[in-house]
Amino acid sequence: MSCSSCGIKNADGNKVSGCGSNNGCATGGCNRFNVHNWLSDIPFTSLSNSFKVVEVSFKNGSRKAFFLNTNNMDCHTGDSVVVEAASGGYDVGRISLSGELVRLQMKKRRIREDAELPRLLRIANEKDMERWDWAKEQEYPTMLMARVIARDLKLEMKIGDVEYQGDGRKATFYYTADDRVDFRELIRVFANEFKVKIEMRQIGARQEAGRIGGIGACGRELCCSTWLTDFKSVSTVAARYQNLAINQVKLSGQCGRLKCCLNYELDTYLDALRDFPPSEVQLETEMGNARLVKIDIFRRMLWYSIPKTDASFVPMTLESVLEIINLNKQGIKPPKLTDETRDDRRTRKLPSIAFSDGVGETKLEELDRRNKHKRKRT
């Protein structure tokens, strides 16, 4: 499989590489089921010497588990298989990892290789797939009916997702609730209504967003519904270190909690802030003590102001600030805040960037013309 850009040729007749996947778009991407094979360069080993455990993904990667291939079946990543279910019966899923990658994943999850694991029964046949497709079709109407029943029983809970077992004998209801919920009567009503074994599982707001999915403010699919599996705690301290305004609306994700991406660049900011003086340190001058107002971390710039004076904010480089702090330690006060070591980066003009006008692309001049026409009409 490949997209159309992999087969495009330029004017010289050479083939364009496209996105760089080399006609293998199905082997990787942003969705949750795909896994990059870091051991693809290792020579293939015989089936008798390969690792006997495989990782199976259920419901497009929302749940994964390890299974033991006791029958030494020839199965590979992407195959649909039938596995043992913990509550009895069988379940159907797809192999997301196989071979030596599973050994590394088990080590990461701190699972011993000799641990007792459920068995891999067989490769799914046509009858298993038909039963599985029927079970998946029942999930959405079951969730809608379950919400109506929970509302009629006046339970303070929200049912976010329903997952049927591969054989259709069991349904797991994932719900969120602020307080403890007594759902004994709810389980009896569910059992009479849906005629399956019922399991209630409480999840958090982040897990609910990961199961439902969506598009984030960045324009990409949510991290929790694609590749993120471990949810680490996020606090407003991460936003303060990155000089972000404490705006609950902008800092919150679709789950209503702080965005997980606030932790992604936190280490970079902490490394850059090691050279900066503490924010409470004031610069002593003959005009008065200057207080820190603003910091530009990556440009290594600081803005200071002296209260009760008409002076505006004075931009200073980090080197100049450290030099004044050293003078203050020696009992020397400079006459005023001056930045003699600053460069002309703030005053020089940025170089103009030439954009190429390719076939089918809109020119920047065309956009300017459209804006002028709109202004005239209004």
Per residue in 282-334, pLDDT tens? 998 888 888 898 888 888 889 988 887 766 788 888 988 999 999 999 988 88
**Are 60 and 111 members of one domain?**
yes
Q: What 3-state DSSP class applies to 90? A: strand
Contact between 95 and 66 (Cβ < 8 Å) = no
The answer to whether the CB of 257 falls within 8 A of the CB of 207 is: no
Q: Residues 55, 26: one domain? A: no
Regarding whether 116 and 55 lie in a shared domain, the answer is yes
Assess if residue 188 is contained within a domain: yes
Q: What angle do CA 341, 344, 347 make, to 5 degrees?
A: 140
Domain that residue 267 falls in: 225-271
Domain count, the chain: 5
The answer as to whether 369 is a domain residue is no
Residue 356 pLDDT greater than 80, yes or no? no
Mean pLDDT of 217-224: 89
Task: State the Cα–Cα distance between residues 91 and 83, nearest whole angstrom.
Answer: 5
Confidence of residue 42 (pLDDT cuts 50, 70, 90): low
Q: Are residues 281 and 325 in the same domain?
A: yes
Task: Say yes or no: 301 and 264 in one domain.
Answer: no
- pLDDT at 56 (0 to 100): 94
Dihedral (C-alpha) 167, 169, 174, 175: value to the nearest 10 degrees? 160
pLDDT number for residue 19: 56
CB proximity list for 128: less than 8 A, separation 6 or greater: 80, 82, 92, 166
Mean pLDDT score of the chain: 80
pLDDT computed for residue 153 by the predictor: 93
Can you give the pLDDT at residue 376? Answer: 55
Confidence tier at 37 by pLDDT (50, 70, 90)? low
Is the pLDDT at 142 greater than 60, yes or no? Answer: yes
Classify residue 291 by its DSSP letter: E
Euclidean distance between CA atoms 55 and 77, whole angstroms: 9
d(CA 314, CA 333): 17
* Mean pLDDT value of segment 329-352: 63
Q: Is a pLDDT exceeding 80 seen at residue 130?
A: yes
Residue-level pLDDT at 83: 95
pLDDT in the model for residue 369 = 54
Whichever domain contains 172, its CATH number is 3.30.300.20
Give the range with max mean pLDDT: 18-32, 107-121, 228-242. Answer: 107-121
Maximum distance among all alpha carbons in the chain? 87
CA 202-205-208 angle, to 5 degrees, is 70
pLDDT higher than threshold 70 for residue 189: yes
Q: Is residue 236 part of a domain?
A: yes
Q: Tell me, yes or no, whether 72 lies in a domain.
A: yes
Structural tokens at position 90: 């069988």
Q: Which residues contact 86 (CB under 8 A, 6 or more apart)?
A: 118
* Res 373 pLDDT > 90: no
Asked if pLDDT for residue 127 goes beyond 60, the answer is yes
The better pLDDT of the pair 61, 102 is held by 102
Band the pLDDT of 118: cuts 50, 70, 90: very high
Residue 29 contacts residue 36 (beta carbons within 8 Å) = no
DSSP states along 13-73:
SPBP-TTTTTT-GGG--SSTT----TTTTSPPPPGGGS-SEEEEEETTTTEEEEEE-TT--
Q: Which of the four pLDDT bands, split at 50, 70 and 90, describes residue 344?
A: very low
User: Is 376 within a domain?
Assistant: no
335 located within any domain: no
Of 299, 217, 298, the closest CA to residue 258 belongs to 217
Give the model confidence (pLDDT) of 224-279 as tens digits.
Answer: 888 887 788 898 889 988 888 888 888 999 888 999 999 998 998 988 888 899 88
What order of strands is seen across the sheet that includes strand 314-317? Answer: 283-285, 288-296, 301-305, 314-317
Q: Do residues 339 and 331 lie in contact, with contact meaning Cβ atoms separated by under 8 Å?
A: no
pLDDT at 247: 87
Residue 346 lies in a domain: no
Q: Look at residue 211 and tell me if it is in a domain.
A: no
